[in-house]
Amino acid sequence: MSANATSTPEVSREEARDLLVDLVSIPSPSGDEAEAAERLVDFVRAHGREAWLDEVGNVRAPADDAVLLTSHVDTVPGEIPVAVEPADADDPVAAEGADVLRGRGSVDATGPLAAMAAAAVNAGVSFVGVVGEETDSRGARHLVADRDPPEAVVNGEPSGADGITLGYRGFLAGTYVATSESGHTSRPDPNAVQHAIRWWSRVEKAFEDGVVPEERRDGDGDAGEAPVFEQVTAKPVAVDGGVSDDGLSVEATMDVQLRVPPALDVETVRETTEAHLDVGTVSWADPIPPVMQSPRTDLARAFRVAIRAEDGEPRLLRKTGTSDMNLYADAWDCPMVTYGPGDSDLDHAPDERLPLAEFDRSVAVLERVARTLRDDAA
């Protein structure tokens, strides 16, 4: 337990909502999180807690390390007019007439971030708002290198007020580069652009059956209807190529991304892609390993109890994307889950919006979980 844990003034529902609206109203795309981070620091200090910005811009508010509540401050770019409006009759995320907050980040992940800040203050546990999650996760990478592991981690991403996310696929990104001599297009020899296309076609073919446990395969040994979570998803995300400026060569560059299920490790996926390489080279960014947590930990159990206490029915989730929880799980040997208000189908969407009643309930769930873990550790 940190010496910074103190008895603090309670955060009211109205104060928590005000924090949420303020943070959504402050543009905070990756690399431009400073103003939103300062608002969080002011909020925590106003309730009697120590808080500061660290070397990379993370909001640090240490307290009882029975659990660390952490979410990301940054959002993806995109301006959405901020407003609290009643939900339409056909809105699938809220009952007709219920207050809904519209704005970039309301779901991913300013809603979870604000909920965690309020719950951490009320429960007296540690809180961190990290930067750069939407790009290079520099905030999370700095955090795991800069502090000791807490006893448990709750990572903030939208799961819905009743959802508990236990697993994410890993992430591997690379850049393929090839060069060939220029020549007349009537020649049969493949050029660099063709080499790039053919390499990636072979990579996609290698993974097209997915990663499926034996009992899920059909009689022919094929993957069949494998859940996406259990597959490697291979995507080219940018391609550039053509004759060089001096006219002497053909060049091709392809940026690629692969999502890695927990059944595989990142190195195996990287070796598979390189095994199909006959021309050109691939440079890889730092990988993010997959994660799958047990539903039987004290942390997961505390969430199930808290969700039911707030009139919800717990749902255990696995996400096909990647989050900072992957990095925490790789660095820290402690129980963790991801949780937060919001419909993840609205991540990065032009109609991103969050029902305020769901936000309120998630604050209550987080506070119950934090108090339970804090009291059990005392």
Cα-to-chain-centroid distance, residue 232: 18
CA distance 60 to 58: 6
Number of C-beta neighbours around residue 281 at 10 A: 12
CA distance 343 to 157: 10
Alpha helices in the chain (DSSP H): 13-25, 34-46, 110-123, 138-146, 192-207, 266-275, 298-309, 324-331, 356-377
> Of these residues, 133, 151, 157, 343, which one is catalytic?
133
> Of these residues, 33, 64, 65, 74, which one is catalytic?
74
Answer whether 140's CB lies under 8 Å from 133's CB.
yes
CA distance 234 to 200: 9
Q: Is 74 a catalytic residue?
A: yes
Give the chain's length. 378
Q: Is 271 a catalytic residue?
A: no
CA distance 113 to 272: 37
Answer whether 128's CB lies under 8 Å from 143's CB.
yes
Cβ burial, residue 192 (10 Å; 0-12/13-18/19+): buried
Q: Name beta bridge partners: 316.
A: 164
What positions carry a catalytic annotation?
Answer: 74, 133
